Structure 1
Amino acid sequence: MSRCFFNHPFLFLAVFVLLADGLVSCSQYSTKPISKGYHNLTAHYNAYVIARDQINEAEQILFKARQENYNQVLPILLPVDSNSISAVKPQIDDAIKKASLIPERHQNSKWLDDAYNLIGRARLLKQDLPNAIEVFKYVNTKGTNENDKHTALVGLMRAYIEASDYTNALNVAEYLRNQPLNKVNTRDFYLTKAYLHERQGEYATSVGILEATFPVLKKGEATARLHLIAGQLYDVIGQPAKAVDQYRQVLQSRPTYDQSFYANLYAIQSNGLTGDQKRLAQSNETFERMLKDRKNEDLKDKIYFTMGLLEARSGRVDKAIQLYTQSIQAAGSNTTQVPYTYLEIGKLYYEKKGNYDRAKVYYDSALALMPKQSLDYATLAARKKTLDEFVQYKSTIRTEDSLLHLAQLDSAALNKLLDKVIDQREKEDKAQADLAKQIVDRATNGNTSVVPGATNSNLQPAERWALYNPVTLSQGRQEFTTRWGNRTLEDNWRRSNKEASASVAGLNSPVSGNSPANSINPNLPVQLSDTPPVAGAGPTSPAQARMAQKTVMKSQIPFTKEAQAASNQRIENALYRLGKLYKLQLNQPTDAITTFEQLLTRYPNTLQKPEVYYLLHLSNEQLGKASPWKDKLLAEFPNTSYARLSGRSAGQTTDAEAQALKKYTAIYELYKANNNTEALAQAENALRTFAGTQLEDKLALLRVMLVGKMQTVDAYRQALNEFVRDYPASQLLPRVKEMQTAAEQATAKRK
């Protein structure tokens, strides 16, 4: 047969040509059917399918391993997290290598665009956002399949969202909105756009888009999660009835146990907002059933929290606080819920009880445990700052008043009082030491090998060893700082002559930014340091130690006139700032009025009198009360900005502005003509009529210049200071400050 084959040379040549053509056509740049078929088959099964399955599996692993914070509105799409990605990073890297084989070896394959989209998805998962964006842009620009280009644009929108580039994400969304998307791209586009609006805080738009997505979703854990999020979003925008509907949909979507648990809790909370009394009446039975269910053993803190929330919404504040406290006790070592429970207790003390000292304690604890990325963190930090100031001012007033009172006592009475303070502290220290020893004994008795958590759980919540309880540990730090200030970790940290503890209560008040006064034990008249003044001294007798403590305490009392004047100045500043805090931040006009009136009574010559008059006027006006403060302000300080702000000239018309301009021009002409005496007299008479006009500060500056020409340097400097005080927002302020500098330099040269 071989001889027959070679006897037909033309047949041999034909076979050779066919084989050669087949080999050449396998080039990745060939457009021939045989070549494209080969590369399509190879690219699909040797690269694309493997890479796709690896990325899908990685996404499933990340979804299953997610840590949901049910105290916040859940994100519609899981945010890109560089920490969680470490578990699947090798898998994703291998997927990128497999997908990269297609553009390297199979350029004529129909899977080229799909391969690039897989690479983009993998880059997005790895949080390599710049490269992910470039890949998706490339597919949109160079791709040949419209569906693949749409897939790339959805991925591009997601990458922009993760980069917080919401403007570009919205631009992509607007383009896609008008494109004919297939079913998969429609689903992904809706979810990504809903996620975009959720990230921007546009919850109504977000939940509307999410609602439109549900018809194309299959039942399962992922869909149940989205229904739960939709319910949360409806709660946020104040539509609890729709929220309840979504929570019911969770239970019909094959949820996990946690999802069904929280759906039931959230539904009860929403019923509390809708006023559904029938369902609310059933809630107590539901709670009892949940608390008895052994599967909820580690979720009891959430149940008690929800019970407290319903009581708070019903106006039963004390009962709510009791249930919140039970929630904290039930939390154990899992403190995820605890900061939000502290936050709710703080809100009740702040908004319902007006007990700002107690509110501060709970806000401190909440902020110490709350994740910084929480939506409540920024608001909580701002409110905590306000309460910190409040407690500082109150503590300063209480401390300085106590010190001034002690300064008036005779020696015998003072020694007796100091002995009483020392006795009380020794008693408290002994009680705390005994409790600590009891806890240690109970925790370690026969259980030396037991792990800390297990030993701790055998005790009552109030007796658990603090170092095993992060909540108690946080509270302990705050109480220590409040009583002792920020101390360096070192031996003899209580010694009073160390720099770290040089400032003592009273002489360095919180108002000036130094060590905080005591707010832990309000029964004591004043927080006084009780430590001996000599560091490193040898052993002393109890009598000597007591004498040393009394010496330190006495050193803080303002016996001299200078020290008493400084103490009164701190009280004056604290009263002024406390009154402003009540009026402007706490919105408590009644307390503001009481505080300001106390300030004026105790310190009638305070430099803040114009502003205090103005704030008293506003506070009374807010309460609908008539008061003399506006008239007093206009009578005593007619040329101040506060007189202008009091509303005297709120009805200024265009005619009034024209009259003011005419008057100002006349005075200015007198100034130019060097008729300074007449110009100054007219300027001072006209200032009151200019109140509220646009020319008021200009006329005031003209008056200052005339004073400089006509009167002494001291009068000129005083006029400049008054302008700075009365017109803090004037555009002429920089020029006036330059004039102040020049006046100071001229005065210095004369000296």
Structure 2
Amino acid sequence: MSRYFRHHLFLFYTVLTTLTVGLNSCSQYSTKPVSKGYHNLTAHFNAYVIARDEIAQAEQELFKKRQENYSQLLPILLPIDSIQTLSVKPQLDDAIKKASLIPERHQNSKWLDNAYILIGRARLLKQDLPNAIEVFKYVNTKGTNEDDKHTALVGLMRAYTEASDYTNALNVAEYLRNQPLNKINTRDFYLTKAYLHERQGEYATAVGILDATFPVLKKGEVTARLHLIAGQLYDLIGQPAKAVDHYRKVLKSRPTYDQSFYANLYAIQSNGLTGDQKRMAQSNETFEELLKDHKNADLKDKIYFTMGLLEARSGRTDKAIKLYSQSIQAAGSNTQQVPYTYLEIGKLYFEKKADYTHAKMYYDSALALLPKQSPDYATLLNRKKTLDEFVLYQITIRTDDSLLHLAQLDPAALDKQLNDVIAKQEKADKAQADLAKQIIDKATNGNINSVPGATNSNLQPGERWILYNPVNLSQGRQEFTSRWGNRPLEDNWRRSNKESSEAVAGVNSPVSGASPANSVNPNATLSTADVSGPVADLTSPAAGRKAKKDAMMAKIPFTKEAQTAANQRIENALYKLGKLYKFQLNQPADAIPTFEQLLTRYPNTLQKPEVYYLLYLSNEQLGKASSWKDKLLAEYPNTSYARLTGKAAAHTTDSEAQALKTYTAIYELYKTNPTEALARAETAMSGMAGTQLEDKLALLRVMLIGKVQNVDAYRQALNEFVRDYPGSQLLPRVKEMQTAADQATAKRK
């Protein structure tokens, strides 16, 4: 080694040693250039870069592992999922640890704000939203760099959105909207704000913001996904032409196979929405090609679903149901699409066929598989409750009507009828047992170690094991409830002294929802579910038959009291079924014959004034002339229903002064002679219509009914007031009275 080289090496070593000693003695609070340079260098490479890369790697891994539900609107930003984040939790924890070194050891570093932002991002991904919000707030308050503060505010808006605190998220967005954001913050701000509006259901605003974002995005899987979402949003707001444009852009953005597949399917659906018959005709060839492509082997259910959707839009309901059924059969073990297919079938039965019994079964199946966070879940649950009531009323009418018919038979005919019912049920049970054996043999193929149902998807729909078939499972649950009542899970649940519920919750065989007149049939076919109670578990066939027959006989209303109770149940079911048709199902054509049956079979029903009024409304809704309004005014002129027809208001002649005089006179009578006061109030109600004292007199009438009549009449009068005067200032007082009346009734019981 030359002397010259050794000399320079010694000088370099001396300088390096001096710098190292000097830098190590630098305080993290010093503002000297050497100290700040040292801490900037160390904070950047020893902490910030490592934490940044770990968070980026975690985000990439979460994006790759995401589970997209293409049956629903995709979220613009991937929602924070604590379960999915478990796989990257060690990376996030380490990133927080590394980033935390900067505020601990390098306070004078220029990377301090960036470190806090990384900590906030990691906590956001871990769904530690309160701490993420606090970190982002801290950067915005204490930060020194405006771009970093804007980045923190975008993160804060995202955290508020994930916490469903939309008010604060919008406040942050409104502030950022007026700030000079850099290119990256502008992109992230637009995407986060679009996501915020999507979460709120403001799809037009969301897609408008999304459109403004695409110019700053690079081609790739992320951008292809956003184009797909933009197409979905345009479809939802009824702009299919723009939707198709975005679906085509998906194919130009380097998409994954799934993204290109669904972009093609959605484009076909959107063209169907525009009524492009030529494109619809070509779609059949497209579907044939898609079904033949081996790459789509696990996507056939989506193809059949789309085919069914297009048929439904074209009005071919039966063909649509058939294709939807093929979609369910093709799903196999992948049930992601299945609940939405059940939902569409249920809608067709409900809206197009008015077959509410079948609609209920498919809605039950959809709810069994539909995620509770789905936007369709709440609506579907409400509709299912309506259909549960519908089936309950129809079963009540059918069952009690059949039992009343049996009670009229002579002993020989009754005995024969019961024997026929038992024989039919035994035959059905044997057929079911034989089918179950065939299913087991076919599924296991002789291999006793085969898991039951492992090859279930290869069986015909009617052969599938019931626990893997949601429709059959729902039917079985209804049949059980119909036969045994609502029983808790406990030992000896079949004991004969347990009472089976009178209000059965299901149906054994389809009953047409469109023909309520046919649902009351004295000669209806009976089943053991209609007349049997708990069946004794006896080994002797003869003893078992006798026990079944005894259980059936016990439910038949032979006594006058039992027949009266059965008729009351039928009367109540007809009344509620008619109202359900009129209001919940909006089927006045079905409500009319239901109410007419009620009046024919039970002419003295207490609901007659209301039924008259509902018949008048139903006929008016259908544009039919009827005499129900005249009958109501003639027979019940002083009822609230008569006033609701509008006739009373037309005859209002009293001035406000006269109305006040009338009210004062009735109020004085209220104190001394409530019976006379009630009679005058009933007469004066029509004359008070349209005056400022109308609701006050109506409330006085309610109070008089409470004094003169029983508590049931009082509660009905309160309900009528709530219905007739929804805008009255007296309504809070009336609701308090309702609560008190309900409590008094409960104590009496």
What TM-score does the superposition give when structure 1 sets the normalisation length? 0.88
- Confirm or deny: 8 A CA contact 1:652 1:693 kept in the other structure: no
What's the CA shift for 1:60? 0.3
Indicate whether 1:509 and 2:502 are aligned: yes
Q: Helix, strand or coil for the counterpart of 2:28?
A: coil
Query: Alignment RMSD, CA only?
Result: 3.2
What's the CA shift for 1:467? 4.6
The equivalent position to 1:667 in structure 2, one of 648, 661, 665, is 665
Structure-2 residue corresponding to 1:727: 721
- Give runs of aligned pairs for residues 335-414 of structure 1, distance below 5 A: 335-414=335-414
What's the CA shift for 1:115? 0.6
Query: Could you report, residue by residue, the CA deviation over 1:302-335 in whole angstroms, capped at 9, with x for unpaired residues?
Result: 1000000000000000100110111111111111
Write the distance in 2 (CA, Å) between the matches of 1:599 and 1:372.
39
Query: Could you report, residue by residue, the CA deviation over 1:59-104 in whole angstroms, capped at 9, with x for unpaired residues?
Result: 0000000001111100000011010000000000000011011111
Q: Helix, strand or coil for the counterpart of 1:687?
A: helix
Structure-1 residue corresponding to 2:641: 642
Structure-2 residue corresponding to 1:525: 526
Residues 210/567 of structure 1: CA separation in 2 closer, same or farther (3 Å cut): same
- Confirm or deny: 8 A CA contact 1:479 1:520 kept in the other structure: no
Residues 216/83 of structure 1: CA separation in 2 closer, same or farther (3 Å cut): same
- Confirm or deny: 8 A CA contact 2:358 2:510 kept in the other structure: no
Query: Could you report, residue by residue, the CA deviation over 1:536-559 in whole angstroms, capped at 9, with x for unpaired residues?
Result: x6x42x333222221111111101
- Confirm or deny: 8 A CA contact 2:360 2:387 kept in the other structure: yes
Write the distance in 2 (CA, Å) between the matches of 1:403 and 1:677.
43
Write the distance in 2 (CA, Å) between the matches of 1:738 and 1:310.
51
Task: Give the length in aligned residue pairs.
Answer: 711
- Give runs of aligned pairs for residues 194-593 of structure 1, distance below 5 A: 194-450=194-450, 452=452, 455-467=455-467, 473=473, 476-488=476-488, 494-495=494-495, 497-499=496-498, 502-503=499-500, 508-510=501-503, 515-516=504-505, 518-520=507-509, 524-526=525-527, 527-528=529-530, 534=536, 539-540=539-540, 542-593=541-592
Indicate whether 1:623 and 2:615 are aligned: no
Write the distance in 2 (CA, Å) between the matches of 1:186 and 1:442.
61
Query: Could you report, residue by residue, the CA deviation over 1:618-674 in whole angstroms, capped at 9, with x for unpaired residues?
Result: 111111122222222233333332222222355699x86625544436626965998
Residues 397/453 of structure 1: CA separation in 2 closer, same or farther (3 Å cut): closer
Structure-1 residue corresponding to 2:113: 113
Higher mean Cα deviation, 244-253 or 547-556?
A: 547-556
Structure-1 residue corresponding to 2:42: 42
What's the CA shift for 1:474? 5.5
Structure-1 residue corresponding to 2:174: 174
Structure-2 residue corresponding to 1:596: 595
Identical pairs, percent:
74
Query: Could you report, residue by residue, the CA deviation over 1:230-254 in whole angstroms, capped at 9, with x for unpaired residues?
Result: 0111111111111111111111111
What's the CA shift for 1:121? 0.2
Write the distance in 1 (CA, Å) between the matches of 2:710 and 2:452.
73
Question: 2:72 corresponds to which letter in structure 1?
Answer: Q
Residues 147/261 of structure 1: CA separation in 2 closer, same or farther (3 Å cut): same
- Confirm or deny: 8 A CA contact 1:649 1:692 kept in the other structure: no
Question: 1:516 corresponds to which letter in structure 2?
Answer: A
Q: Helix, strand or coil for the counterpart of 2:80?
A: coil
Write the distance in 2 (CA, Å) between the matches of 1:447 and 1:706.
78
- Confirm or deny: 8 A CA contact 2:648 2:686 kept in the other structure: no
What's the CA shift for 1:733? 3.5
Write the distance in 2 (CA, Å) between the matches of 1:695 and 1:362.
51
Residues 317/370 of structure 1: CA separation in 2 closer, same or farther (3 Å cut): same
Query: Could you report, residue by residue, the CA deviation over 1:274-312 in whole angstroms, capped at 9, with x for unpaired residues?
Result: 111221111001100010111111110010000000000
- Confirm or deny: 8 A CA contact 1:333 1:453 kept in the other structure: no
Query: Could you report, residue by residue, the CA deviation over 1:394-428 in whole angstroms, capped at 9, with x for unpaired residues?
Result: 11111111111111000111111111111111111
Q: Helix, strand or coil for the counterpart of 2:82?
A: coil
Question: 2:509 corresponds to which letter in structure 1?
Answer: I
Write the distance in 1 (CA, Å) between the matches of 2:175 and 2:463.
62
Question: 1:520 corresponds to which letter in structure 2?
Answer: S
Structure 2 stretches lacking a partner, 5+ long: 1-14, 512-523
Question: 2:30 corresponds to which letter in structure 1?
Answer: S
Question: 1:509 corresponds to which letter in structure 2?
Answer: E
Higher mean Cα deviation, 214-223 or 728-737?
A: 728-737
Write the distance in 1 (CA, Å) between the matches of 2:28 and 2:713.
87
Residues 663/726 of structure 1: CA separation in 2 closer, same or farther (3 Å cut): farther
Write the distance in 2 (CA, Å) between the matches of 1:338 and 1:270.
21
Residues 285/689 of structure 1: CA separation in 2 closer, same or farther (3 Å cut): same
- Give runs of aligned pairs for residues 73-222 of structure 1, distance below 5 A: 73-222=73-222
- Confirm or deny: 8 A CA contact 2:225 2:250 kept in the other structure: yes
- Confirm or deny: 8 A CA contact 2:190 2:210 kept in the other structure: yes
Question: 1:578 corresponds to which letter in structure 2?
Answer: L
- Confirm or deny: 8 A CA contact 1:52 1:95 kept in the other structure: yes
- Give runs of aligned pairs for residues 657-736 of structure 1, distance below 5 A: 658-659=656-657, 661-664=659-662, 667=665, 683=681, 685-700=683-698, 702=700, 723-724=717-718, 726-728=720-722, 731=731, 733=734
Write the distance in 2 (CA, Å) between the matches of 1:406 and 1:491.
33
Residues 447/301 of structure 1: CA separation in 2 closer, same or farther (3 Å cut): same
What's the CA shift for 1:32? 1.1
- Confirm or deny: 8 A CA contact 1:407 1:559 kept in the other structure: yes
- Confirm or deny: 8 A CA contact 1:140 1:150 kept in the other structure: yes
Write the distance in 2 (CA, Å) between the matches of 1:391 and 1:557.
21
Write the distance in 1 (CA, Å) between the matches of 2:738 and 2:460.
65
- Confirm or deny: 8 A CA contact 1:657 1:694 kept in the other structure: no
Write the distance in 2 (CA, Å) between the matches of 1:118 and 1:743.
62
Q: Helix, strand or coil for the counterpart of 1:26?
A: coil
Query: Could you report, residue by residue, the CA deviation over 1:107-165 in whole angstroms, capped at 9, with x for unpaired residues?
Result: 11111111110000001001011110010001001111110000000000000001110
Write the distance in 2 (CA, Å) between the matches of 1:208 and 1:581.
41
Query: Could you report, residue by residue, the CA deviation over 1:720-742 in whole angstroms, capped at 9, with x for unpaired residues?
Result: 56743642465453787799899
Residues 488/673 of structure 1: CA separation in 2 closer, same or farther (3 Å cut): closer
Write the distance in 2 (CA, Å) between the matches of 1:240 and 1:88.
39
Write the distance in 2 (CA, Å) between the matches of 1:315 and 1:23.
80
Write the distance in 2 (CA, Å) between the matches of 1:725 and 1:415.
47
What's the CA shift for 1:490? 6.3
What TM-score does the superposition give when structure 2 sets the normalisation length? 0.88
Question: 1:73 corresponds to which letter in structure 2?
Answer: L
Structure 1 stretches lacking a partner, 5+ long: 1-14
Q: Helix, strand or coil for the counterpart of 2:606?
A: coil
Question: 2:505 corresponds to which letter in structure 1?
Answer: P
Higher mean Cα deviation, 225-234 or 688-697?
A: 688-697
Higher mean Cα deviation, 466-475 or 597-606?
A: 466-475
Q: Helix, strand or coil for the counterpart of 2:86?
A: helix
- Confirm or deny: 8 A CA contact 1:204 1:234 kept in the other structure: yes
